[in-house]
Amino acid sequence: MSLVHALRHRLRVLLNPRAHERELAEEMEFHLGLEAMQQEHAAHGALSVEEAHLTARRQFGNVTYYREETRRVTGIAWLDGVGQDVRFALRSFRRAPTFTAVAVIMLALGLGANTAIFSVVDALLLRPLPFKEPDRLLLLSLTPSPGERTGWSYPKYALLRDARPGVFSDVSLVSRTEHTIRVGDEAVRDWGESIDAHYFPTLGVRVALGRNLLGQEGRPGGPRVVILSDALWRRAFDADPSALGQSMLVDGSPYTIVGVAPPQFAGFSGAAAFWIPVHALPEAWASYDLGPYNHTFEAIGRLVPRASLAQARTAIGRVGTAVDAIYPSARTRDQRWSATADHLDDFRVTGRVRRTLVVLMGAVGLVLLIACANVANLFLVRAAGRRREIAVRLAIGAGRGRLVRQLVIESMLLALLGGVASLAVAWWTVNALASLESASVLQLQIASAIAGSAAVELNLAAFAFTFAAAVGTGLVFGLVPALQATRFSLTGALADERAVVMRGLRGLTSRNVLVVAEIGLAIVLLAGSGLMLRSLGRLLAVRPGFDARNVLTMQVNRAPEWSRDSIVRFYDLALEHLAAIPGVSSVALADCPPLNYGCAGRAPIQLHDRQSSTGSAPVFGIHWITPGWPSLLRVPLLKGRMLTDADDRSARKVVLVSASAARRLWPGEDPIGRRVMVPVDRFEGDTASVVGVIGDVLHGRLDSLPMPDLYVSYYQSPISFRMRLFLRTEGDPAAIIPVARQVLRDVAPGFPIHAVSTLESIVDESTASARFGAVALGTFAALALLLAAVGTYGVISYAVTQRRREIGVRVALGATRSDVVRLVVGQGLRLAAAGVAVGLVAAFMATRLLRSLLFGIAPTDPTTLIAIVTTLGFAVLAASWLPARRAAGVPAAEVLRAR
Amino acid sequence: MATDRVSSQQKSELLRGTLEMLILQTLTVQSLHGYAISQQIQRLSDGALIVEQGSLYPALERLQQNGWATSKWGESPTGRRARYYTITASGRRRLGQEIEGFDSALLAINRVLRRV
């Protein structure tokens, strides 16, 4: 009850403080009136009216004082004081525009960088996944060996689905697949997801219009139905509800539209435009795609409420055992497949992206600290200039708390101004990041491609973050100088100039500490970015094993219902026409482009003439190529011969192996003529002989070692899935694109042509994430260096002003210009040396975080460290050179006469 | 009347709790305006306790801020507008606590002074 009364009263006072004061005045007036009457009455006419009033006032005490006192109790006085301080601060900013501008710019840079990186972190790591109760969603994985994860093949998933452990309220599977759909008159390639009826319930998403898949639609031979995304429904059907029941062509077959997903929902992969049942896949694909060794399905499970991850792992482990019993590992005898579960949230980004973001977040944090130190320094300098003002105010009775409050309000206000300005910086940075295709860089690496919809944008969360950061910043850089500035002894500051000098020097010490800290932090950032840049350099210097210049690649999808022979004929025709284009020197096919992060198939290879009793059969990358592919990419032939057109289906099976594969399988022996068993497609159950060894090609990533690879001729085993066209051109490959497109359209009218790119751009893309990290960190480090240099300049320049008299004396006593310059620059270098010492220690610790992001370089690389120390040394030298020259110009006679 | 030069700051420290207790006590019987409260306290204490009448007002404000008393404008017997203060239920509880605390403190002090 007291709370209600208290709140009502406080609210009334706060909402109308003027009324409260009026009423108080009236009340006191009333009181005094009564008291005066009482006095008059008591004196029986011995007092005049005036005298009675005077006595009443004496009885009452100081009316103004008690009014103030009452006001103080209400807290209005405090608020008024804050308002006054704010007005005072704004006035003082206007009086010192340079100080204000410099401080606001520094804060804007520091805060803006933080906001920008925060919005990336928010989009990729913090924002909850767009599913219902995402913390109950688990990603279920098969583990061929400890620490290795893979998705599920359909038959293995079926074991999971049929067992459906009780800890899961639902399990489902999903596979992102690319399809040709017909929207209006146009055939387009778009991402869809192959799912079963449990998919939407598992994710907790309700179909907005129409219905979910029915159970039997997930079975083989079931009806072909499709659920559209809201976006596709709007694009293709103008959001017309009568689209339900109509049919849409997917890969040339009619699918009945049964539902529309809710707006914004883009599926598990974040990129899906439609969903089709797994079993609706064309017959030609199903034999492979739904076979036991195509592990391209992800399985997701929704935990029942209150079930733990550990329980889920136990349950899924039993499924893993069953999988291993029914589909034993072909690789080894003693290695067993198992299964595990992890929070879906852990798979939003790869560990590398997560680590990069953590490092960048730390880096911008350091930049902000440096900016804070700089602004704190400015405040110290300014406080020193306002010593007299502060001393006078203390002398006439201002409380220290009051002065600290005012100084903190000034710094908070400055920080908020900086925060507002930082939004412009952040906006610009976020746009720059977006145009740096960083979003795609980061999403490219998302394991199982979740959260592709996470847009990097400045949203409410980012604004809240900026505000909080600004307030925190204001407190950090405001409180310390404020406490220091109000710690004067009154007499010292007012009475004696010498005392002022002494105090000035003490102030200088804390400024020095700030500059040393700034330089130290800058060293940490420079070390980090230096290492990232050097690592990027190493990465760019990696030879991928092929010549990417003047190569164009593209993909054209054939109709899925075609037989293998007609596929071969189709590609032959396409190659023939493409080769005829002027400027194209050779053409070839392969199933994947190089540097594809694992598009290529893998299989365990067994030697025909050796029982692999010892250990495991090595896993090889298997590549389907046409005979001309190695020479088109200028992959060298090391031994034996290349594949030829004669190696066709009627000839005996032959393979090429890569140099690493040869070393791995036949160390120190001649691989030519050896026979291997390749358990894929037409090679299955047959043996193939090695006819040649070619150079290693990096099929996976630039920063990993080459896999042992094995190449089979497309003509001996024309696999049913997509092939990629390669064209070597005489000139700029991009110039050929329009002609090549036209040629393909003529050969295969209505077939979508996609993934058109030069091989060089594929190589570029594979370094995009490293470039992003290096560029971002480098930018922040440059900013840090600039801020540290500005900080040093500020302190040295202030010191020169303070020591003007001393320098004058020195010059009068015979110091030369170079003596003076040495004196001043020496001070700067001493600060730098201290900063470098502190910074290197910190850098040794901090750069360990980078270890996993670096390629081919140790975090303690001495060359990098020497380079950054030198860079910093020059920056400090330049920063102290300018004030030093000013100091050297001090006219001794004038300075001495002035005192 | 305070003839010694005790600063007003110290004075209010000294009297704050006690004065609030006294005010609440006067309000237990009926709602009163400020002047009446001061008269009441003065009368009951033979003029010994109120140092300056004005110190009543910050104390009244504090009571309201804490929700121990409420106020309402009404008409005084002389016909002028006056603000009447009323003790709340929580104010009564508070008063009970205050008196208890005061009693035990007084008892303790008296023990030290060997009067009981």
- Identify the bridge partners of residue A172 per DSSP, sorted by sequence position: A300
Q: Do A4 and B68 touch (CB under 8 A)?
A: no
The residue behind tokens 């006085």 is A77
Q: What per-residue string of b and e applies to A643-677 under the rule 16 or more CB within 10 Å gives b?
A: beeebeeeeebbbbbbbbbbbebbeeeebbebebb
What's the longest Cα–Cα distance across chain B?
52
- Helix or strand or coil: residue A597? coil
The nearest CA of chain B is from the CA of A77 a distance in Å of 13
What H or E segment, with its residue span, contains residue A361?
A: helix A351-385
Can you say whether the dihedral through the CA atoms of A102, A103, A109, A110 is positive or negative?
positive
Q: Do A1 and B88 touch (CB under 8 A)?
A: yes
Candidate from B39, B66, B80 with C-beta closest to A2: B66
**Closest-CA residue of chain A to B55:** A66
In whole angstroms, how far apart are CA A41 and each of A52, A172, B46, B53? Answer: 9, 95, 19, 18
Q: Do B52 and A63 touch (CB under 8 A)?
A: no
Q: Do A2 and B33 touch (CB under 8 A)?
A: no
And the tokens for A508?
């200088």
User: Which residues of chain A have a CB within 8 Å of the CB of B78?
Assistant: 34
Q: Do B64 and A33 touch (CB under 8 A)?
A: no
pLDDT digits (tens, 9 = 90+) for B92-103: 999 998 888 888
Can you say whether the dihedral through the CA atoms of A740, A745, A750, A751 is positive or negative?
negative
CA-CA distance, A637 to A794, in Å (whole number)?
A: 64
pLDDT band, very low/low/confident/very high, at B1 (cuts 50, 70, 90): very low
CA-CA distance, A375 to A111, in Å (whole number)?
A: 13
Model pLDDT, residue A438: 43
User: Which residues of chain A have a CB within 8 Å of the CB of B61?
Assistant: 70, 73-74
Q: Mark the ranges of chain A whose per-residue pLDDT is less than 70.
A: 1, 218-221, 281-288, 329-335, 350, 434-456, 485, 487-508, 558-562, 597-599, 608-617, 719-721, 750, 898-899
Candidate from A2, A24, A27 with C-beta closest to B90: A2
- Residue B46 CB-half CA count within 13 A: 0
User: Which residues of chain A have a CB within 8 Å of the CB of B70?
Assistant: 5, 9
Model pLDDT, residue A215: 78
Q: How many beta-carbon contacts under 8 Å exist across A and B?
A: 97
Model pLDDT, residue A452: 44
- Residue A681 CB-half CA count within 13 A: 21
List the single best residue of B39, B57, B84 to mutate versus A (max A Cβ within 10 A): B57
Candidate from B58, B66, B73 with C-beta closest to A6: B66
Q: Do B70 and A73 touch (CB under 8 A)?
A: no
Model pLDDT, residue A495: 47
The nearest CA of chain A is from the CA of B101 a distance in Å of 20
Candidate from A5, A38, A67 with C-beta closest to B70: A5
Determine contact: A78 vs chain B, CB below 8 A: no
Model pLDDT, residue A119: 83
Angle between helices A49-60 and A17-42 (to 10 degrees): 120
Candidate from A2, A28, A61 with C-beta closest to B67: A2
And the tokens for B65?
């801020």
Model pLDDT, residue B95: 92
Task: Find all residues with CB under 8 Å of A184, minimum gap 6, and list them.
Answer: A236
The residue behind tokens 């509800």 is A241
Phi, psi of B34 (to 5 degrees): -55, -50
A242, A160 Cβ separation under 8 angstroms: no
Write the DSSP assignment of A78-116 as a string of letters.
HHHHHHHHHHHHHHHHHH-HHHHHHHHHHHHHHHHHHHH
Candidate from A26, A35, A73 with C-beta closest to B61: A73
Q: Lowest-pLDDT range, A78-87, A373-382, B41-50, B74-83?
A: B41-50
Alpha helices in A448-563 (DSSP H): 460-485, 490-495, 497-541
CA angle A823, A376, A888 (to 5 degrees): 20
User: Which residues of chain A have a CB within 8 Å of the CB of B9?
Assistant: none
User: Which residues of chain B have a CB within 8 Å of the CB of A6?
Assistant: 64-67
Model pLDDT, residue A330: 56
Q: Cβ of B73: how many Cβ atoms within 10 Å?
A: 12
Q: Do B65 and A74 touch (CB under 8 A)?
A: yes
Task: Find all residues with CB under 8 Å of A74, minimum gap 6, and list them.
Answer: A10, A13, A17, A20, B61, B65
Phi, psi of A354 (to 5 degrees): -60, -45
The length of chain A is 899
Task: Find all residues with CB under 8 Å of A502, minimum gap 6, and list them.
Answer: none
CA angle A473, A478, A484 (to 5 degrees): 145
List the single best residue of A4, A5, A26, A57 to mutate versus B (max B Cβ within 10 A): A5
Q: Do A9 and B81 touch (CB under 8 A)?
A: no
And the tokens for B86?
């009323």
User: Which residues of chain A have a CB within 8 Å of the CB of B51?
Assistant: 61
A658, A620 Cβ separation under 8 angstroms: no
User: Which residues of chain A have a CB within 8 Å of the CB of B81?
Assistant: 26, 30
The nearest CA of chain A is from the CA of B24 a distance in Å of 14
Chain B residues bordering chain A (beta-carbon distance below 8 Å): 8, 12, 33-35, 38-39, 51-55, 57-58, 61-62, 64-68, 70, 73, 76, 78, 80-83, 88-91, 94
Q: Do B54 and A5 touch (CB under 8 A)?
A: no
Model pLDDT, residue A302: 94
Model pLDDT, residue A1: 54
- Helix or strand or coil: residue A639? strand
State the ipTM, two decimals: 0.84
Give the residue from A708, A120, A209, A732 showing the smallest Cα distance to A432. A120
Q: Do B34 and A5 touch (CB under 8 A)?
A: no
- Identify the bridge partners of residue A637 per DSSP, sorted by sequence position: A694
Q: Do A28 and B58 touch (CB under 8 A)?
A: no
Model pLDDT, residue A488: 57
Model pLDDT, residue A329: 64
Write the DSSP assignment of A884-898 as a string of letters.
HHHHHT--HHHHHHH
**Closest-CA residue of chain B to A58:** B52
Give the residue from A882, A893, A876 showing the smallest Cα distance to A801. A882
The nearest CA of chain A is from the CA of B103 a distance in Å of 24
Determine contact: A29 vs chain B, CB below 8 A: no
Model pLDDT, residue A45: 76
Q: Do A31 and B34 touch (CB under 8 A)?
A: yes
CA-CA distance, A859 to A844, in Å (whole number)?
A: 8
Model pLDDT, residue A720: 56
B23, B66 Cβ separation under 8 angstroms: no
User: Which residues of chain A have a CB within 8 Å of the CB of B53?
Assistant: 31, 35, 59-61
Torsion angle in degrees (nearest 10) through CA of A550, A552, A553, A557? -160
CA-CA distance, A391 to A406, in Å (whole number)?
A: 14
What H or E segment, with its residue span, contains residue A360?
A: helix A351-385
CA-based end-to-end distance of chain B:
31
CA-CA distance, A663 to B74, in Å (whole number)?
A: 104
Candidate from B55, B65, B81 with C-beta closest to A66: B55
User: Which residues of chain B have a CB within 8 Å of the CB of A60?
Assistant: 52-54
User: Which residues of chain A have a CB within 8 Å of the CB of B73?
Assistant: 23
Candidate from A9, A24, A63 with C-beta closest to B65: A9
